[in-house]
Structure 1
């Protein structure tokens, strides 16, 4: 559920997905929402991550039309494909809520690639980047989930962030993911994959 007011209680904010720039500023400043091409064009100039533009230039990463269509089946299918995940990241950046996918990815790495010796330092890094108040990429969590994470930092386990990760996944699945599937960006990716397939066959 999206909220259109900046004066939300901390409890209700814990269950929102992300705020659109237009939700925050259009009423006051009358700023028209830029189309996705302009916003993504600007975002692709940053060096924060491997961009869609770079992926599109590398044929080994180009998905088939069938693969792109499969992204509409589920968020899990989308995230399991490297190109699909990159496309979703760019979409979230355009909506100014990429912290959700970045937190989810950090949790995946934490659970699957962290040795027991590295758990404390990795757990604290995730907490400082995403969980603590005024963190650089603070995500919206309810008090109980956040408090449970704080308590676990003394002796973290691979499941320390699991509840929070599931909540963020659910938010993306119910909010950002449907918007992505109905976005002009996804439609353009589908059309581009179909065009590429026809070129290969001809």
Structure 2
């Protein structure tokens, strides 16, 4: 009969966590190499520490952060944020309705496959906004998720093996 991880001795659990972090770092480096054909420069990786916005503004920083979130099973946050950024760039008002509905169903609806963590009031306001979509109908929800990532996920990213292995 297989035993769960909780039945392993502490030293084994620590080793499993270490191996998971190393594997994640290796996969991150592979992904960064595929996206830019080179490792991020040390100066770039150090700029990511100065602000969350600097991290998101840099292609490799965004890639590293997304990979980190995937390792924590919370990649839906950055996916939602980026979907909202793309949505705001929609030029044709005829496409707003279908795009808004798709984002709502994927990230906000109670049965959403990639539901983000929003309070009831924000969900209600967003649902009402999507009824008559504008370019700003997701602004409140996007702002809440941005703040969540900035205050919670970003500090963890900076302390992670993913980040520490990218800088000297």
How many pairs are equivalent? 157
Secondary structure, in 3 states, of the residue corresponding to 1:163? helix
Return 5+ residue gaps in structure 1 as ranges: 1-24, 45-50, 192-202
Tell me the residue number matched to 2:95: 118
Structure 2: how far apart are the matches of 1:126 and 1:104?
A: 10
Greater share of helix residues, 1 or 2? 2
Structure 1 pair 160/61, CA: closer, same or farther in 2 (3 Å)?
farther
In the superposition, relative to structure 1, how do residues 52 and 86 fare at CA in structure 2: closer, same or farther (>3 Å)? farther
Kept in 2: contact 1:103–1:130 (CA 8 A): yes
In the alignment, is residue 95 of structure 1 matched against residue 72 of structure 2? yes
What is the aligned partner in structure 2 of residue 107 from structure 1? 84
- Aligned residue for 2:23? 38
2:111 aligns with one of 103, 126, 134: 134
1:90-138 Cα shifts (integer Å, max 9, x gaps): 0001111011000000000001235211000000000110000121100
TM-score, with length taken from structure 1:
0.71
Normalising by structure 2, we get a TM-score of 0.84
In structure 2, the CA distance between the partners of 1:94 and 1:30, relative to structure 1 (3 Å rule), is farther
- The alignment yields a C-alpha RMSD, in angstroms, of 2.1
Secondary structure of 2:165's match?
helix
Task: Tell me how far 1:62 sits from its aligned partner.
Answer: 3.7
